[in-house]
Amino acid sequence: MTFIKLQTPRGTKDYLPPEVEQRRYVEQKLTEAFESWGYQEIRSPAIELVEVLSTGVGSELIDSMFKFQDFDGKIVALRAEMTAPVARIVTAKMLEAPMPIRLFYISNVFRYSQSYLEREREFWQAGVELIGCNTPEADGEVLSLLVSSLMKLGLEGVRIDIGHAGLLKDLLRATGLEKEKKDVLQNLLGYRDEDRLEEFMDQNNFSPDLKEVFLRLSRCRRLEELSSALLKMSEYGRTDDYLRALVEVNDALADYGAENFVFFDFSLVRKIEYYTGIVFEASVPNLGLPLGGGGRYDNLIEKFGKLKIPATGFALEIEKCLQALTAQGCQLSEKPKVKVLVASRFRDLAIKAANSIRGAGIAALLDITRRSKKEIVRYAKCSGIDYVVFVDSSLKKPAAIYDIRLDTVKNMTIKGFLQSVEADQK
């Protein structure tokens, strides 16, 4: 127990500079992508009232929240996802804003994993919410933005699989089965075990029509093929409307040039309950877990107030994006930036030199150790510094400049040095 002071709580971790750099790269690329589509960033507290965070998300997520009691007796929790907080913000503070509203966030979220698989309990999500619109264009925009963001990260083989929360629900209801059997049926669809699916439908006296519908939908991979499934199925709740909506989304995707990235998956379900329309998941071939996902939630925002406002969005896990990029061998940073260490017996001159280097847009560190030249160079070698500049008694005089990588020394003025670094970078 001596080492307990050195640990972080289970499922949390520190991010050291090299990892932060990689994460920053992913966050920046995603921010650029979201902003270029006109999305604006919001932030919200990590702690919220449990009533807010629990609205519409379903018991599984509620169970996974870190909850505790505030001093005034109210129960608060760490946010487990960002859509409910965004719904609260929109209802409380943005109702005057013209719809549609386009928002994005990059936030840490917290989930207490009850499974014995030790998952991270704090992780980062980057996501968007498109609020106040339920057109196929809105779904098309969010899906296309998802594809475009992942490609901007440099990922290859990006693929989105989409299902429909309402379609599956209505068809399960149309079977007339009791709850337990519906669960079995949904499991079989998720298993993609066609033999047992057929066996189950035969045992439970499905009409040939309904059987055909389930088989056809579970085999269908392309959205455009859904239009052919349409005519036959008018008697099963709103399924026809949902299918038509999916086909319309596909038409919109075609105009975005994104239809070849998007596939249909009848069995796709999301663990969070508020979805009402399309639901989707993003993946790449080299990573066995989805990068993130989302969907349409037209009934969530009204649960915060009285106004029914349709909305759709997605969230990506930064960690998964990083894993995918690493698996694909992608470069995870911009061109490395040059770092210069400035040292001198004359402190005022060293500070002046460092400032002028910083002024030229190059990172400059000042030697503050009063070490010997030899020790300073040794420190530079171990610290990822590119040059050490030893300033003489005047800034006009040439300074001794150590190129750490080449292990050479040149005498140059600061001005001349800056020009040569600039030339190198080009």
Partner 1 sequence: MKRRIRIAIPSKGRLSQPSIQALQDAGINVRRKERTYVSETSDSRFEAVFARAFDVPIYIQYGAADLGLTGHDVMLEREADVHELLDLGFGKSRLVVAVPENSAINSIYDIPAVARVATEYPNLCRKYFDGFGKQVEILVVRGTAELAPRLGLAQIIVDITETGETLRRNKLKVIAAILDSSCRLACNRIAYRVFESEINELLDKLRSGGTLTK
Residues of this chain that bind partner 1 (CB under 8 A) = 115-117, 156-157, 159, 161, 190-193, 195-196, 221, 263, 265, 283-285, 287-290
CA dist., res. 46 & res. 109, Å (int): 8
Shorter beta-carbon distance to partner 1: residue 284 or 321? 284
Closest contact distance (angstroms) between CB of 208 and partner 1 is 22
Closest contact distance (angstroms) between CB of 384 and partner 1 is 33
Number of C-beta neighbours around residue 99 at 10 A = 14
DSSP strand E in 355-406: where? 363-366, 387-391, 399-403
CA dist., res. 138 & res. 403, Å (int): 54
The two tokens of residue 116 are 């014995």
Closest contact distance (angstroms) between CB of 371 and partner 1 is 48
Closest contact distance (angstroms) between CB of 396 and partner 1 is 58
Shorter beta-carbon distance to partner 1: residue 182 or 358? 182
Shorter beta-carbon distance to partner 1: residue 65 or 284? 284
Shorter beta-carbon distance to partner 1: residue 193 or 202? 193
CA dist., res. 64 & res. 156, Å (int): 33
Residue with tokens 């070849």: 260
Shorter beta-carbon distance to partner 1: residue 193 or 241? 193
Closest contact distance (angstroms) between CB of 121 and partner 1 is 17
Shorter beta-carbon distance to partner 1: residue 100 or 290? 290
CA dist., res. 277 & res. 165, Å (int): 5
Shorter beta-carbon distance to partner 1: residue 154 or 190? 190
Shorter beta-carbon distance to partner 1: residue 136 or 292? 292
HEC sequence for 93-138? HCCCCCCCEEEEEEEEEECCCCCCCCCCCEEEEEEEEEECCCCHHH
Residues 6+ apart with CB under 8 A from 44: 79, 82, 85, 86, 89, 105, 107
Shorter beta-carbon distance to partner 1: residue 190 or 398? 190
CA dist., res. 345 & res. 369, Å (int): 11
Closest contact distance (angstroms) between CB of 261 and partner 1 is 12
Shorter beta-carbon distance to partner 1: residue 15 or 191? 191
338-377 as b/e, with b when 16 or more CB fall inside 10 Å? bbbbbbbeeeebbebbbebbeebebebbbbeeeeeeeebb
52-87 as b/e, with b when 16 or more CB fall inside 10 Å? bbbbbbeeebbebbeeeeeeeeeebbbbbbbbbbbb
Shorter beta-carbon distance to partner 1: residue 263 or 379? 263
Of 37, 68, 268, 13, nearest to 149 by C-alpha is: 37
Residue 270 contacts residue 293 (beta carbons within 8 Å)? yes
Closest contact distance (angstroms) between CB of 267 and partner 1 is 9
Q: What is the DSSP string of 40-91?
A: EE----SEEEHHHHHTTT-HHHHHTS-EEE-TTS-EEEE-S-SHHHHHHHHH
CA dist., res. 380 & res. 386, Å (int): 8
